[in-house]
Amino acid sequence: MIVTVMLIPQSLAYALLAGLPPQAGLYASIAPLLLYAVFGSSRVLAVGPVAVVSLMTASAIGSLAPAGSPQYWTAALVLALLSGVLLLLMGLLRLGFLASFLSHPVISGFVSASGLLIALGQLKTLMGVKAQGEHFFSLALDLLRQAPAANPHSLGLGLGTLLFLLWTRKRLKPLLLGHGLSAALADGLSRAAPVAAIAASILLTWGLGWTAQGVAVVGQVPQGLPPWSWPVWDAALYRSLLVPALLIAIVGFVESVSVGQTLAARRRQRIDPDQELVALGVGNLGAAFTSGFPVTGGFARSVVNFDAGAQTPAAGAMTALGIALATLLLTPVLYHLPLATLAATIIVAVLSLVDLGMLRRTWGYSRSDFAAALVTLLGTLAFGVEVGLLTGVSLSLALFLHRTSRPHMAVIGQVEGTEHFRNVQRHPVHVEPALLGLRVDGSLYFANARSLEDRMNAEVAARPGLRHVVLQCSAINFIDTSALEALQAIQHRLKEADITLHLSEVKGPVMDRLQRSGFLKQLDGPVFLTHFQAVQALTGQPASSRIREI
């Protein structure tokens, strides 16, 4: 009941955010919830319309048809269908790992920018003006120009709702607890605050006749269960929506899995990411065939579901039944619901997504993560959600390639009195003039193979009396073909210089691949189990010569 009460105003608001009639939000909160209860692996995840996916939906189809038109809704159904098919395919192919390519700074920057875009976009509804803009900054300028023309009744109603909802989020529950109410009842009443705001605004608009004074209302909402819908077949439309559908699928999956894993960990449970892909895919297919639009697991509703005590997916199914009853019985009441009230509901919901403090935190820890987050945020604000997200992901991957193309390499020496070897620049260690120990802290692949060759050549050139080189491989998890060819080139050059190449501490999977390649047959020196054994064997000194008694 708690989640149902919260979802009704949210569903109406997110449908309008997506550019669809309000009933589409109710429709999209029924079949997906029921289907997720059957196929999902989380016990508390609540699936339905969410702010970011609704914004991405509007961005994807906004240029294809006028918002609210039948053609627009048709495009939304196709978008849900494509998202569902892509998610289902990724789940069947067990591609849940693809979500790892969206780093947390990129997601944080994207979500924060989306929250700002949504909040700013709702200000025009709250003010009762028709401001337009291709991006955040142009829309902000147009809102400033049209501010004098704002409808006072709509603005007052919207601001009043906004302040009320902000107050109830922070103050209502402690106030109710202070008056002796139980924690469960106080929490339920505070969650129902948006419904109270909607009821009050409907009564005010209807009783005072504000509709005649320019306050925009929801109007007629069809009564009844979601009608069956069949997405049209239009090859051009499918091609134009394929990339947006893929982005919606990935972003929705990342948000859903993040919420699901966080809540499952609190109860020492776990979820299956690949099964989540299947469940979300089936949920989106359900939305496509019941007049909805793309959906995913929502953070706010899932946390409320968890806090309310949901133990099984049946809670989601019962929520779906509650929303179905609302579509049957309550839609006539929504006629006089002001759009400004729904706009205020959206603004309050999305402001919690904005985390500009992450820029300061990432700046202090990792400049590359800061750059990825900042570029994603600014790109989304300036060019839209698709361009911003793709730019952030591309930059993040480019920075990763740049970082791994220059792995940390350290000349190592023996810590006196131990069998341990450390970086000569960080620790007081002993080194043998005729032996070079080099540790590579990272896997070797095409992007950093040349870097290893260059470093090896520089170290060898700086040591005229060098006789042995031992490459310590304890941090190497993988060697690709390009890196193997680089090792072969290093082996050849060292042999010509009368220097022997050895390996130490090679991991089992890496050793298996090297044995299949034939490289070990070409290697002049042996492969040592430990670097300490290599130093012992190559310097001809017994173990006791460098290990003091403890």
More confident residue, 246 or 189: 246
Same domain, 381 and 414: no
CATH number at residue 460: 3.30.750.24
Same domain, 430 and 368: no
Same domain, 181 and 78: yes
Same domain, 387 and 426: no
In Å, how far are 228, 272, 317, 533 from 278, measured between CA atoms?
Answer: 22, 10, 18, 51
Domain boundary among 371, 397, 423: 397
Express each pLDDT in 502-531 by its tens digit: 999 999 999 999 999 889 988 999 999 999
Cα dihedral value 162, 260, 276, 322, nearest 10? -50
Express each pLDDT in 443-457 by its tens digit: 999 999 999 999 999
Structurally, how many domains does the chain consist of?
A: 2
In the predicted structure, residue 544 carries a pLDDT above the cut 60:
no
Q: Considering the domain boundaries, does residue 175 fall inside one?
A: yes
pTM: 0.78
Domain boundary among 397, 422, 443: 397
Judged by phi (left if over 0) then psi (alpha if -120 to 50, else beta), residue 232 lies in: beta
Identify the pLDDT of residue 541. Answer: 63
> Are the beta carbons of 124 and 130 closer than 8 angstroms?
yes
Q: Is 414 helix (H, G, I), strand (E, B) or coil?
A: strand
Same domain, 206 and 343: yes
Same domain, 344 and 432: no
Token pair listed for 368: 């590359």
Measured distance CA(374)–CA(113) in Å, rounded: 10
Domain boundary among 397, 426, 441: 397
Measured distance CA(517)–CA(34) in Å, rounded: 53
Q: Considering the domain boundaries, does residue 403 fall inside one?
A: no
- Residue 545's pLDDT band (boundaries 50, 70, 90)? very low
Token pair listed for 201: 């605004």
C-alpha of 39 from chain center: 22
Q: Considering the domain boundaries, does residue 359 fall inside one?
A: yes
Residue partners of 298: CB distance under 8 A and separation at least 6: 46, 47, 48, 49, 50, 255, 259
Q: Considering the domain boundaries, does residue 280 fall inside one?
A: yes
Same domain, 8 and 135: yes
Same domain, 285 and 306: yes
Same domain, 297 and 415: no
Express each pLDDT in 123-132 by its tens digit: 988 998 888 8
Measured distance CA(312)–CA(67) in Å, rounded: 38
Same domain, 383 and 486: no
Same domain, 354 and 478: no
| Residue 450: count of CB within 10 angstroms of its CB | 13
- Residue 549's pLDDT band (boundaries 50, 70, 90)? very low
Identify the pLDDT of residue 9. Answer: 83
Identify the pLDDT of residue 370. Answer: 93
Measured distance CA(371)–CA(375) in Å, rounded: 6
Mean pLDDT of the chain: 89
Express each pLDDT in 362-388 by its tens digit: 998 998 899 999 999 999 899 888 888
In the predicted structure, residue 548 carries a pLDDT above the cut 70:
no
Residue partners of 89: CB distance under 8 A and separation at least 6: 281
Q: Considering the domain boundaries, does residue 402 fall inside one?
A: no
More confident residue, 541 or 238: 238
Same domain, 218 and 336: yes
C-alpha of 130 from chain center: 32
Q: Is 242 helix (H, G, I), strand (E, B) or coil?
A: helix
Which residues constitute the domain of residue 39? 2-397
Q: Considering the domain boundaries, does residue 455 fall inside one?
A: yes
Identify the pLDDT of residue 542. Answer: 53
Express each pLDDT in 270-284 by its tens digit: 888 899 999 999 999
